[in-house]
Amino acid sequence: MHRVKLFIPGPTEVREEILEALHRPMIGHRSPEFSDLMDRVLHKLRRALRTDFRIQIHTSSGSGLMEAAIRNFVEKDVLVTVIGAFGERWARIAESNGKNTDVLAVEWGEAITPEQLQDAVKKKHYEAVCITHNETSTGVMNPLKELADAVKDVSPDTLILVDAVSSMFGAPLYFGDWQLDFVLTGSQKALALPPGLAIGVISENAFEKALTVKNRGYYFDLVEMQKYVDERRQTPTTPGISLFYALDAQLDRILEEGMEARWERHRQMAEVAREWARKYFDLFADPDHLSWTVTTVANTRGISVAELNAELHKRGFTISDGYGKLKGKTFRIGHMGDLTPAEVQELLLNIESILGLE
């Protein structure tokens, strides 16, 4: 098989040794072996994420926990902030679950400002505010701590629900210190695992709220999940056991690298990509709120992204076109997971050579 290295914002490259972990023999999900595995993985996650909040591992993509957030932490009124396609998705999820959904949206390419958000929560009381930490469609990283502060200053009981699918493990994230209440991610982004697992980090306040919410649903009932985890180190339904093996192995690597070093590596990759984009094209996103994990390049030269990608494929690389309405107008370079600045540099040199840039 022709091997193509992924510089797309998910799924990301998975190391060979991690892929090998997927091949281990199957075990029963009600066996002591599985409980040991769950215990080990939770312990390592707690060390890596440095939080005493509850941590849950679900077998689903990231969107599953976006829906879980709405079902478990919102009875009626929710405010969804939208800075791109994944914020729009969260608003649709809230509406389709029958919640009174207000939307605070800004132009694609911009971040929400703390002032805008504070104005919105002053006008009406919300049980929760949904925030995309890193909007993968635009390459914008919201000022999450400032946004959470702006909400809590006015309305301390409003829960802060965070989509950190493309930032957790790739950019600084402090759960309690930043007053966050539910933070979710998926395995196929900065965690550099195959798709299929989602991780949720839950504050005490959020968990207490969930206990009172009706119709939490079945598959994503976070209270039920917690009961299984606390009492037996199991999950209510059959988990993706192979992916737990991979997570176990990957967390060893992450703990070995150190979380700060992992964040710093992502910052350096972003710096390389931004510098290159400024030199040959332009940056699409607000320069004050650039993502650490994906760089959205404004296609100022009007190149064919499809043709560029076809040539890159032959050389063993792939990048992403712009998302949705940004297709053709931008292209995206994903630099997350286990990639290195040198690998990003290598990709960019290949783009230069294909496009004949000087």
Ligand X SMILES: *Cc1c(COP(=O)(O)O)cnc(C)c1O
Place of tokens 């598959």: 219
Contact string 68-87 vs ligand X (x = CB under 6 A): ------------------x-
Tell me if 132 contacts ligand X by CB under 6 A: yes
Instruction: Report the nearest approach of ligand X to the CB of residue 161 (Å).
Output: 12
Q: Which is nearer to ligand X, 283 or 294 (CB)?
A: 294
Alpha-carbon gap, residue 147 to 94, rounded angstroms: 20
Tell me if 136 contacts ligand X by CB under 6 A: yes
Rounded to the nearest 10 degrees, the angle between the axes of helix 62-73 and helix 85-96 is: 50
Contacting ligand X within 208-267 (CB under 6 A): none
Alpha-carbon gap, residue 157 to 356, rounded angstroms: 56
Q: Which stretch binds ligand X (CB under 6 A): 35-43, 150-158, 161-169, 322-330?
A: 161-169
Instruction: Report the nearest approach of ligand X to the CB of residue 84 (Å).
Output: 8
Tell me if 166 contacts ligand X by CB under 6 A: yes
**Backbone angles phi and psi of 200, in degrees to 5:** -125, 135
Tell me if 320 contacts ligand X by CB under 6 A: no
Tell me if 322 contacts ligand X by CB under 6 A: no
Alpha-carbon gap, residue 154 to 124, rounded angstroms: 11
Contacting ligand X within 4-23 (CB under 6 A): 10
- Count residues binding ligand X (CB under 6 A): 12
Tell me if 170 contacts ligand X by CB under 6 A: no
Instruction: Report the nearest approach of ligand X to the CB of residue 28 (Å).
Output: 27
Pairing of strands 100-105, 134-135: unpaired
Alpha-carbon gap, residue 36 to 197, rounded angstroms: 18
- List the structure tokens of 79: 């405010």
Alpha-carbon gap, residue 11 to 52, rounded angstroms: 28
Instruction: Report the nearest approach of ligand X to the CB of residue 212 (Å).
Output: 27
Q: Which stretch binds ligand X (CB under 6 A): 45-53, 55-63, 301-309, 348-356?
A: 55-63
Q: What are the DSSP E strand ranges found in the chain?
A: 5-6, 54-59, 77-82, 100-105, 128-132, 134-135, 140-141, 159-163, 182-186, 197-202, 282-283, 294-298, 317-318, 320-321, 330-334
* 186, 200, 322, 337: which one binds ligand X (CB under 6 A): 186
Q: Which stretch binds ligand X (CB under 6 A): 147-155, 159-167, 315-323, 346-354?
A: 159-167
Contacts with ligand X, residue ranges (CB under 6 A): 10, 61-63, 86, 132, 134, 136, 163, 165-166, 186
